[in-house]
Structure 1
Amino acid sequence: MSKILDITENHLKILSLFTKGYDCEYYIREICRHVPVSHGAAQNILNSLEEKGVLESVMKGRNRIFSLRKTGLCVNYILLAESYKRLKFSEKYPLTYEIIYKILPAFTGPLALFGSYSSELATEFSDIDLLSAGGFDKRQVDEVSRKFKVDINIKQYTKEIVLLGIGNDHLIKEVYKNHIWLCCPEFFVEGYIK
């Protein structure tokens, strides 16, 4: 007998808040300021995610504070939230997503979008900022950049440096706080949550 996975878009919106560095803590009123849901709906979603083992909570004074429970199950739910963020990005910035989609074959390994597009502050003049934790074909990227008349800036690190830099490197910390994982999201999520 199969069980239905009861996840709504509001679940994904709330889980997306916890992807901003994966070490965030939120209380219910704070979540309601970021996600347009009622206090009761937010509480039901948070309780549901806590019962499933995705979130955990502690009482601080009179407030209940929620954070990610860093487990394998949590990783699966966070990967759903990361896919949701990528989908919302592709809907909000369809041309930019098409540009990125055209250059994806040029990359081997994990790839992240950061900067103004991941912060939803992009304008028509914004550059595309990428963090690559692998190799890429610069010629292919430059060709797409010229064709679409957009600057594509790539910061390249090794996988080991990305994992070591999570807590120390300013750029990597910035990427983890505001990102869209484009390739190999498991690398980024599992690398932090382990």
Structure 2
Amino acid sequence: MLKDIFTKTTEQKILSLFVANPNKSFYGREISKKIKISLGATSNALRFLEKKGILTSERKGKTSLYTLKLPNPYIEHFKILNSLLVIEPLVERLKSISRRILLYGSYAAGTFTSESDLDLFIVSERRDEVLDKIGEFNRKQNIDIRPVIKKQTEWMQLEKTEPEFFNELNRGITLWEKPIDETGF
């Protein structure tokens, strides 16, 4: 999985924890347990991230409480990357029954919060199978994915029938697209 490549360092693992919980603060020991890295390595990484202005800390007794410092354009882009990594297994499962998969809305812009749902646009002739795979993924990952599923013919008409939605999709991220064959499909 790509997540293993992009979240290799302790700093990346810490950032992944914070972007998944952007409004939450964590103690160093709590972070260490959640990311399954030694307390010493976690402490070093936390000090580095604080020095770089990515995290802030507040002393609480003998320990520090860490918070993600927002807004930060780098963190917004890291949030997008983290979202892509989280849904990568779902995208892999949907490829065989889809023609196109797009991420749009707040997750594509990196502006999502813990209350946001994840908006996916999927072109598929097999709606029920797509919904089954998404439902299974939602249950396992505890992510609220809101799919919009259209057939290829509906997708081809979308610019005319729903121009505002079509423009929003164009601002999104194409996660996968089936290569066009000789018939144009």
- Structure 2 length-normalised TM: 0.52
Give the letter for the 2:78 counterpart.
Answer: L
Matching residue of 1:13: 13
Share of identical aligned residues, percent? 24
Q: What is the CA–CA distance in structure 1 between the aligned matches of 2:147 and 2:128, rounded to whole Å? A: 19
- For the Cα contact (< 8 Å) 1:12–1:81, is it kept in 2? no
Give the letter for the 2:119 counterpart.
Answer: S
- For the Cα contact (< 8 Å) 1:31–1:42, is it kept in 2? yes
Moved over 6 A (4+): none
Matching residue of 1:96: 93
Matching residue of 2:146: 154
- For the Cα contact (< 8 Å) 2:93–2:133, is it kept in 1? no
Shift in Å at residue 145 of structure 1? 2.6
Considering Cα pairs closer than 8 Å and 6+ residues apart, tell me whether 1 or 2 has the greater RCO: 1
SS at match of 1:58: strand
Matching residue of 1:76: 74
Aligned length: 126
Matching residue of 2:119: 132
Q: State whether structure 2 residue 42 is matched by structure 1 residue 42.
A: yes
Matching residue of 1:56: 56
- For residues 56-105 of structure 1, give each alpha carbon's deviation from its aligned partner in whole angstroms, at most 9, with x where no partner exists: 00001111000011133xx3135225414523542x55633636974425
C-alpha spacing 1:81/1:31, structure 2 compared with 1 (3 Å):
same
SS at match of 1:104: strand
C-alpha spacing 1:58/1:15, structure 2 compared with 1 (3 Å):
same
| Deviates further, 28-37 or 9-18 | 9-18
- For the Cα contact (< 8 Å) 2:91–2:101, is it kept in 1? no
- For the Cα contact (< 8 Å) 2:90–2:133, is it kept in 1? no
What stretches of structure 2 of length at least 5 have no aligned partner? 1-6, 109-116, 135-144, 149-171, 174-185
C-alpha spacing 1:50/1:8, structure 2 compared with 1 (3 Å):
farther
C-alpha spacing 1:69/1:150, structure 2 compared with 1 (3 Å):
same
C-alpha spacing 1:83/1:102, structure 2 compared with 1 (3 Å):
farther
Give the letter for the 1:34 counterpart.
Answer: K
What stretches of structure 1 of length at least 5 have no aligned partner? 1-6, 114-129, 157-182, 185-194
- Structure 1 length-normalised TM: 0.50
C-alpha spacing 1:102/1:76, structure 2 compared with 1 (3 Å):
farther
Aligned-residue Cα RMSD (Å) equals 3.7
